[in-house]
Amino acid sequence: MKDSKYIDHTALKPDTTKEQIIKLCREAAEYDFASVCVNGCWLPVVKEELKGTDVKACTVIGFPLGAMSEKAKVFEAADAVNSGADEVDMVINVGMLKDHNDAYVIHEIKAIKEAVGDHVLKVIIETGLLNDEEKARACKDAMAAGADFVKTCTGFGTGSATLEDVRLMKETVGDVMKVKASGGIRDRETFEKMIAAGADRIGTSSGVRLVG
């Protein structure tokens, strides 16, 4: 796979403007990235800008805290797909995971996967808030729920993606799921090391710098 197809070209800051979203999409089309990842309100703009390309439209669910109700997340996921999302990146309920309420975590992920159907579901476990046991358990919960990817971070919490976390996540999910590394990946060396550690996708706002 060529390097550009590892990249989810991302703009998730709350002050992102339409002009910036259009620029993001045009860069993604030019460099042939895997997807453009944006907040849900921008999906119609993204779909229009990416028309005629194979770059996917990706959005986030329950972002960035993951602590809203399951019902709200499921509605948001269904709405995202109806608005044109090809892929969705959801944040788990970190507090429930820490409380060892894995039944809740699995049920929520499964409900969101049912809402998005055949569309790709990536599960953000927010590694900066978890110890290694919790990281592995979160990956197993996502696997049990039928998600497609596990993902390191939102980029809005504590810490960034690390090679150790990517290796741990890949060892846990094996070939059953894919791994997305996101958070703090801004240079070519880190990009290459993340892929070598087992990342199948890289979430970054620095995509042009990484492959340009």
Residue with tokens 């005629």: 52
Q: Which amino acid is at 183?
A: G
Catalytically annotated residues? 89, 151, 180
First to last CA, the chain: 16
- Copy the structure tokens of residue 207: 């995509």
Phi, psi of 179 (to 5 degrees): -120, 135
Tell me the three-class secondary structure of 96-130, residue by residue: HHHCCCHHHHHHHHHHHHHHHCCCEEEEECCHHHC
Peptide bond into 44 cis (omega under 30): no
Phi, psi of 128 (to 5 degrees): -65, -15
Q: Residue 180: helix, strand or coil by DSSP? A: strand
CA 77 to chain centroid, in Å, comes to 13
Asked if 89 contacts 152 with a C-beta cutoff of 8 angstroms, the reply is: no
